[in-house]
Structure formats: C-alpha cells, structure tokens
Structure 1
C-alpha cells in the first residue's frame, strides 16, 4: 500500500495517546471513530511501524496514513483461445461456439482476452476489446483491438466496409450455384453474396450444401436471415430453420473462415484464414484443408 498523507508530531509537553492526538491531522479522518477504524485496519504507521490505539507520542514521530486498497480483484473467466494473428496493435482469435463475444455476462470472449493475448508495448495500450461480433453459436475469426488508436481505426474500417469477411455454412435444400441477396434487416439494407461449393444428398434433409458467404453489410443475424429467406436455412439454426428440419445438439453450421483488410498502422495487407470445423468435414470431407 502507498502512503496517502504524512504528519510529523511537534514537541509535546507530556506524552499523548495517538487516538487522542491524531484526530483531524489527516483530511480523510475527521473523527475519533474513523481514526480507530484506520488503526485497526493497519492504515496508520508510526515511525514506519503499524500503530495501535495505545501508542504514546512525545514529539518528532512520523505518522503516515496509508492508501487503502479498495479495488476488489476481478475474477477472470478462464478460457483458452487459439490466436491466429497478433501484433502490438491488434489480434485475431478463433471464437468457439456457444459463447457470447461481449455483453453483461461473465462468460464472454471479452473477459477471456487478457489471459490469451500478449500485452501491447505501445503507450496507448488498453485492455483488448473485440471490434465486431459473431453470434453466440457461430465459430471462427474475430478481430480484436489492443490500443486506443487501433480500436478507433478498426471501427472506422468496418464503417467504411473495408474489412472483407468470408463465412462458410452448410445449408438445407436445393439452391442455385451463385447469387446475391438484398433485403431490409431491422429497417436497414442488408446485402450478401453466396456461392455453392459442393452439394450432397441427405436422407433427412434431401440435400445439403457447403456454401461460401460474403456479407457486404453487417446486420444482426444477416446471413442466417438471408439463407432462410432463400428457403435454404443454415443447418442447426434453431431461430430461422424450417420446422421439422432443425438439427439439434450439433450447433449452428456457420463459420467465420476468413478476414482480409489493410492493417491501419503497418499498411500490410492482412489475410487470415481458419480451417473448417470437424463437423463440416464429416459432411464434406473434400474440404479438409
């Protein structure tokens, strides 16, 4: 603990107890009861030694008031994350399924970043923060800012649509090979592009497709809504899937597989890719890369 205030006792005609003398010598201890509490907490030192209420003062003693440590250690959420890219400015991590990116919850990616990323050496370093979101059931690449300037710059890149994101999904039902979807999501324009990479027949779902998705905009649940609007919902989507064709207990088959952008500080063109999850490969083994 650090010293908050210091007082030197002037010469006294006769010895006096500290609990009587030291009232009002410190700005934050105006009463005798407050002084007693501070002594009991070990916050009062006399000549560098912890005081008691019975100590007698004669003059010349150094009395110190220590700064009370009021900060409660924050409990950390323990979660091991795979780091795909990292420097002093930013990082890209692999988000697992079944966890929120951020929000008013203890179990979040946001609360697990400090233990997984190296501390930035730059003067404006801050606690690492996600600069965009992935849905709770979605897996894949998530961009993180590690400095104040980086967080602002990355947010600006997203606003200018200069971060190119590629997703892979497995969808249900027969669909055209390539296309563009434009619609309103929550009253705002939402645009996505899709390309079917491979299709397989299925006893339960008739046909399953491995689809590459590229959103131009970043609306909430945009890709999930757009696939549902095409009548080709994403496998495992309990919110936008077809009744009777919702695969349960396997999670959502939507993966953020690629991020591309110009680094706002090094000007390097960053391209980071993520392997498809094993559950994708079980259905489409040709895409095990």
Structure 2
C-alpha cells in the first residue's frame, strides 16, 4: 500500500502498519474508529498521541482529530521509535455468536475474565472479535463475570449502547443462564436453594441428572443449576451451604473433601435472552468439558 513517507522536515518514515476502513452506516471520528486497528497502539490515548506526532496517514494525508471515517479510507501508521511498544496477548478464543453489537465466547477454566493480570479474556477480545461498524463502537468488554476456575459462556458487548442495555437485562433478570456442576454426597432429586449470600436474597434452582457411587466421596452428582439471582460465587456457596460442595472447589466446603488437580467442576453451559437491539431471540449452548464425561460417560446434555 505505502512503504515510505516524507514528513514536513523531509525525514523518511516507514509505514509499519496499514488498514482499510470498514464500510460504516454513519461517519465516525477517526480517533474513535482507530482504537484496535493497529497492533502497535491499541488504545485511544495512543491513537491521539500518534495523531499529534503526525504519524498517521489517511488517504496519504496526515490525520487530524477532526477527521471522520466513512469507509474505504487507506490508513497507515508510520514508524517512530518513541511510540510505546505493546505486547499483544496471543490467546485464541472460541466465538460461538457474534454480530455488530455483541458476542458470546467460550471462557476456558483457569483464566481470569478481567483484572490486573496480562492473561485475561478481556485483553484477548479485540484480537478475536470483528470490529463493530456502529458509531458508538468501543473496545469489546465482558458484561458479566465468570470465576477464574469456571468454564463456559461469556457475554461481551461491542458498543456502548449494547453494554448498557445488556447490563440492564442482567439487572432485570431477563438473561437466563444454565450451569452444570458435579457435587459431592447423596443429594435429593432437585429443588430450590433460598439462602442469603452476604445478607442478600439469593435463589438457585437445581436438578440432579445422574449420580454415581464414589469410593472417596460416597456419591458424585451431575447437577443442572439455574441461578435466579446473581450473587458472587452464588452456585458454589449455595451447594456448599447445603452440604454438597462442588468437586474441585478449593474455597468452599469441607477441607477433607477438597480435590487437588483437575480444577473446579462448574460449567456455564447455556445463555438465553432477547437481543436488546435487534430483538432477536438469542440462545447459545456449549457442551460440558471432557473431564465431566470421565465421571459421567453416558450423559448427553445437548
């Protein structure tokens, strides 16, 4: 596309990254559109600095903060030793649903959703999802949490409007989630757990799908759970409180029953809701991990 560019002082600069702008429904200010299109400067503040230092070209002209992008423009980033160097997280994520507003991805167990660590789902989203064409597009971000040791479906917003509306759906309890866990001990066939968590009402429906005898744990149960509230560690706390802690839970339950290795046997398997912008019914499922099948080889969930 471009290889070299001479700036106003006739200093020869090399193009290090280039991008062709996506077709947009409405023009977007470049400093908003440019977030995430370059590996070298993935942040909005970095884009602003590069514009100020005259290191971005749009259709062979220097970019400005007032420049709008409508689609098809040739955008180039010029080399500069002073540009901050960012190390991109290389983490491939399974994308189960995606449109211009939101996405649903699979979070493996043993990875943080977000936080101060480098290896997080949040840090890997931009590289795994398509950039939204909407005028209020933002860096993709999770709109709810899954514990570090929990595997399963994670809902992600790609625009500021989608993030706001999805958060409202969670607050109104209009997003349905189903989990599967392996619990310890002889359980009844099902019911509702209504026990407060942190002095707040919490409710979880559960059904035991299958039980097997265990030499160490007496019984192990494959349990389907639907939380009706969204308290922190709700499922883990509720099962521990009724005397049936989740296999592999190192925080809640009796120490003598805690399992070393193989992680937590808790999986967020389904998520269903009415799309807040397209009004489409969204329902996505993800099969239980293989480690569950080693204990319950005959079970078929989906």
Normalising by structure 2, what TM-score?
Answer: 0.73
Gaps of 5+ in 1: 1-42, 51-64
Instruction: Please report how far the alpha carbon of residue 171 of structure 1 lies from its aligned counterpart in structure 2 after TM superposition.
Output: 0.2
Aligned to 1:247: 259
Q: Hey, what's the Cα distance between the residues in 1 that align with 2:159 and 2:105?
A: 16
Q: Hey, what's the Cα distance between the residues in 2 that align with 1:171 and 1:67?
A: 60
Partner-residue secondary structure (3-state), 1:151: helix
Aligned to 1:283: 295
1:67-106 correspondence runs (5 A): 67=54, 71-106=83-118
Q: Hey, what's the Cα distance between the residues in 2 that align with 1:161 and 1:275?
A: 24
Aligned to 1:267: 279
Aligned to 2:202: 190
1:13-162 correspondence runs (5 A): 45-46=8-9, 48-49=10-11, 67=54, 71-162=83-174
Instruction: Please report how far the alpha carbon of residue 189 of structure 1 lies from its aligned counterpart in structure 2 after TM superposition.
Output: 1.3
For 1:258, which of 234, 249, 270 is the aligned residue? 270
Partner-residue secondary structure (3-state), 1:157: helix
Aligned residues: CA RMSD: 1.8
Aligned to 2:179: 167
Q: Hey, what's the Cα distance between the residues in 2 that align with 1:233 and 1:125?
A: 41
From the superposition, tell whether residues 44 and 247 of structure 1 become closer, same or farther in structure 2 (CA, over 3 Å). same
Moved more, 154-163 or 69-78: 69-78
Q: Hey, what's the Cα distance between the residues in 1 that align with 2:278 and 2:83?
A: 37
Partner-residue secondary structure (3-state), 2:156: strand
Q: Hey, what's the Cα distance between the residues in 2 that align with 1:117 and 1:170?
A: 32
Q: Hey, what's the Cα distance between the residues in 2 that align with 1:67 and 1:97?
A: 43
Partner-residue secondary structure (3-state), 1:208: strand
Q: Hey, what's the Cα distance between the residues in 2 that align with 1:49 and 1:169?
A: 62
Aligned to 1:235: 247
Gaps of 5+ in 2: 1-5, 13-51, 56-79
Instruction: Please report how far the alpha carbon of residue 187 of structure 1 lies from its aligned counterpart in structure 2 after TM superposition.
Output: 2.3
Task: String of CA shifts for 1:250-271, please: whole Å, max 9, x gaps.
Answer: 1000000000100001111111
Q: Hey, what's the Cα distance between the residues in 2 that align with 1:156 and 1:66?
A: 40
Does the Cα contact within 8 Å between 1:235 and 1:241 map onto a contact in 2? Answer: no
For 1:177, which of 175, 189, 206 is the aligned residue? 189
Partner-residue secondary structure (3-state), 1:189: coil
Partner-residue secondary structure (3-state), 2:123: helix
Does the Cα contact within 8 Å between 1:44 and 1:66 map onto a contact in 2? Answer: no
Instruction: Please report how far the alpha carbon of residue 214 of structure 1 lies from its aligned counterpart in structure 2 after TM superposition.
Output: 0.5
Q: Hey, what's the Cα distance between the residues in 1 that align with 2:87 and 2:210?
A: 46
Task: String of CA shifts for 1:173-231, please: whole Å, max 9, x gaps.
Answer: 01111111112212221111110001010111110000000001111111000000010
Structure 1 residue runs of 4+, over 6 Å off? none
Q: Hey, what's the Cα distance between the residues in 1 that align with 2:83 and 2:123?
A: 18
From the superposition, tell whether residues 141 and 66 of structure 1 become closer, same or farther in structure 2 (CA, over 3 Å). closer
Q: Hey, what's the Cα distance between the residues in 1 that align with 2:232 and 2:53?
A: 50
Q: Hey, what's the Cα distance between the residues in 1 that align with 2:171 and 2:116?
A: 24
Instruction: Please report how far the alpha carbon of residue 74 of structure 1 lies from its aligned counterpart in structure 2 after TM superposition.
Output: 2.6
